[in-house]
Amino acid sequence: MSRRVAITGIGLLSPAGNTIEEFWANCIEGQSGIGLITAFDTSEYPTRIGGEIQNFDPEAYLDPKLAKRADRYCQFALAAAHMALKDAGFAGLAPLPEELRQRTAVIVASGIGGMKTFEDTHALLLERGPKRVSPFFVPMLISDIAAGMISIETGAMGPNFAVVTACATSTHCIGEAAQKIKLGQADLAIAGGAEATIIPSALAGFSAAKALSRRNDDPKRACRPFDRDRDGFVMAEGGAVLILEEMELARRRGARIYAELAGYGASGDAYHITAPRPDGAGAVLAMRWALEDAGIEPSELDYINAHAPGTQDGDAMEALALEALLGEAGPSVAVSSTKPIHGHMLGATGATELIVCILAIRDAVVPPNINCENPEREFGFELVRDGPKPKTVRAAMTNSFGFGGHNAVLIVRAV
């Protein structure tokens, strides 16, 4: 029998708040963190809105020298890891107890990596030549360096790698970290993701792909999951990291246990580089495997945090997949997407939405799917639209679907 996995720490930076309680209050109240982009001039872009982190000072979490050698995405990852470790009863980004170091995994990644570093360095190269390129350029750019830097700061010497699967990145990272604990290859894990793509090239690229909402005159109502008038997702930045522990270790430490990470499923669509498989077959596979891993039936789910980014094809696919999975149990299962509140944080979004599920269990309430004023159709599940829904949540599931057909699903349950 595999070992059980406890969640004992959470840390997060998001457009909806830089602390867990601020973030959660905004989720419950339906207060969106989306606004007009301020990081650069967007006047020539078809999309001018996004989810930016406000009032972030990396030196509040990191040594100034460390902060200067980290891309913005990595600063988010390090800060979120610091918060999660402190939340779990450790000393933040400081060496772990000696007896845990060789048994601690670090699996943290970014879906795209240090794009701002790339943009800035390329401009410098063209303007001033190759001698002006920093020796830290490559380490700051790559998607695995957050895991490496967290390991260096904490002394964690267990499995250390990055899973890069676009919008499913942090979900895969957490799932793989849980597997390491279940298989006895680690006792503790620091897992999650971060992204910092509010930059000209990313905005231009996603705009060219017609993936982004263009409701520039109404940013907070732009992301509209499951609404018939949805016109794309809203890109956001941030970082989210969780601390996972073998259940008996957590109990011996006297740690506060938020929930058990009970199930993980992953699949591929085998269909298209950006579009989801229309019939949802790949998504259904991942959800079924996560349920099998958790040892529960679809009818035992109380809440599902949908990936639903507000795109026409993505939302339609997921609705079909959820109906196929849930069947007759659908009307008793509460479903919502929280992306209208925190935006689509790409490589950080899965970990962020897992935190939503954990807090729904803690506080017995399901956050609303705001901005769905005209549902596309009648769904075979309960879409929570008009406000938070008080509900005892014993088991919750979160879905993540990334470009390339990468599907990842996590299930948490009350302890």
User: Do the beta carbons of residue 15 and residue 238 sit within 8 Å?
Assistant: yes
Rounded Cα–Cα distance for residues 94 and 208 (Å) = 43
User: Do the beta carbons of residue 189 and residue 9 sit within 8 Å?
Assistant: no
- Paired sense of beta strands 389-390 and 365-366, if any: antiparallel
Q: Where are the beta strands (DSSP E) in 110-235?
A: 160-161, 188-195
167 is catalytic: yes
Rounded Cα–Cα distance for residues 345 and 352 (Å) = 8
Find the catalytic residue in 74, 167, 223, 357: 167
User: Do the beta carbons of residue 336 and residue 305 sit within 8 Å?
Assistant: yes
Find the catalytic residue in 82, 172, 344, 406: 344
> Where are the alpha helices (H) located in 13-111, listed in sequence order?
20-29, 64-68, 72-87, 98-101
| Phi, psi at 397, each rounded to 5° | -125, 145
CA angle 358, 364, 366 (to 5 degrees): 75
Rounded Cα–Cα distance for residues 121 and 146 (Å) = 19
- Paired sense of beta strands 334-336 and 382-383, if any: parallel
Query: Can you state the angle between helices 145-154 and 72-87, rounded to 10 degrees?
Result: 40
406 is catalytic: no
User: Do the beta carbons of residue 340 and residue 224 sit within 8 Å?
Assistant: yes
342 is catalytic: no
Find the catalytic residue in 82, 172, 307, 342: 307
What tokens does 194 get? 């971060």
Catalytic positions, please?
A: 167, 307, 344
